[in-house]
Amino acid sequence: MSSVIANYIAFRRPSLRDERLLLKIRGMIGQRPVAGLRQADFDECAQALYPGLSNATWNKYVYTPLQAALRHSGVNVPIKRPRLKKPRHQSLTAKQRDILIENADDADLKALLTLLFYSGPRISEAIGLTRERTDLQKGIACFEQTKTNDQHWRPLHERVVVALASLPERDDGKWFRWKTRWGPRKLIKELSEKTGVYFHPHIGRHTFADLVMEKGASLRDLMDAGGWKDPKSAMRYTTKRVERVRKVVNKL
């Protein structure tokens, strides 16, 4: 099992954080033969490495990376993941969005929020965006799709173009100063407390999808604008808002 994880790390070149997760798993079950892995090994690993934590944590830190490493080597171990609660859709109104952006005193944070709300990238995609993969004159950017390991050029809202253009150049070629998606967490928490508007970065993607659909966009438009490849995935990011449906019905 040790070589399977090592080969996956060498191929995938994960972040340092993800590599540490895989190395912890290897330290736990690295000496076991791949052919003999069973459900009990997954369960034992999760409970030993992260005792007392949630099913979501076990899924994220053990079941997902371990299965990915095995599948890379052509091994498929049929397992049952810990059951998760159905995620609660969280989205802001346009007014709440504007309150957050207007009250962001930090220039990087203001530009980041504008990007999240008006272009809908994941936080890791936004933090990793470089000037080289951005053309402000054409109003487009190439976001690295972290879930599909693919790239997709997407249009940038004119407000995003203005916000990014206001930022100073950095030596690393990126737009924002943070190294990881956790970097702006403290500033975001302080802004939420200041404004009374609860927010975490992924809410920006939900809000983007909801408001795009409210403006009458088709599902195809939403997928192209936000980088979704699966219609079902895109629809999970939108709520069934009564007023939006009413507008469609009234067109009959």
**More confident of the two residues 35 and 188:** 188
With residue 76 as reference, give the H or E element that holds it: none
Instruction: Give the SS3 label for residue 146.
Output: coil
Ramachandran assignment for 220, one of left (phi > 0), alpha (psi -120 to 50 degrees), beta (any other): alpha
Instruction: Give the SS3 label for residue 47.
Output: helix
**More confident of the two residues 164 and 37:** 164
Average model confidence (pLDDT) across the chain: 87
**More confident of the two residues 133 and 240:** 133
Stretch(es) of the chain classified as CATH 1.10.443.10: 94-249
Mean pLDDT to the nearest integer, 134-154: 76
Contact by Cβ (8 Å): 45, 58: no
Contacts 24+ apart (CB under 8 A), 173-179: 173/130, 173/131, 173/132, 174/127, 174/128, 174/129, 174/130, 174/131, 175/111, 175/129, 175/130, 175/131, 175/134, 176/108, 176/111, 176/112, 176/126, 176/127, 176/129, 177/108, 178/108, 178/127, 179/127
Q: Quick check: 147 pLDDT over 90?
A: no
pLDDT confidence bin for 148, thresholds 50/70/90: very low
- CATH number for the region 94-249 comes to 1.10.443.10
Between 126-140, 153-167, 191-205, 215-229, the lowest mean confidence (pLDDT) is in 215-229
| Tens of pLDDT, residues 43-59 | 999 999 999 888 888 98
**What's the whole-model pTM score?**
0.65
pLDDT confidence bin for 151, thresholds 50/70/90: low
Between 10-24, 95-109, 175-189, 190-204, the lowest mean confidence (pLDDT) is in 10-24
Mean pLDDT to the nearest integer, 98-102: 97
Alpha helix positions (H), the chain: 2-12, 16-29, 39-49, 55-58, 64-72, 94-102, 107-119, 123-128, 158-165, 185-195, 201-214, 219-226, 231-235, 242-249
Please count the other Cβ atoms lying within 10 Å of the Cβ belonging to residue 180: 14
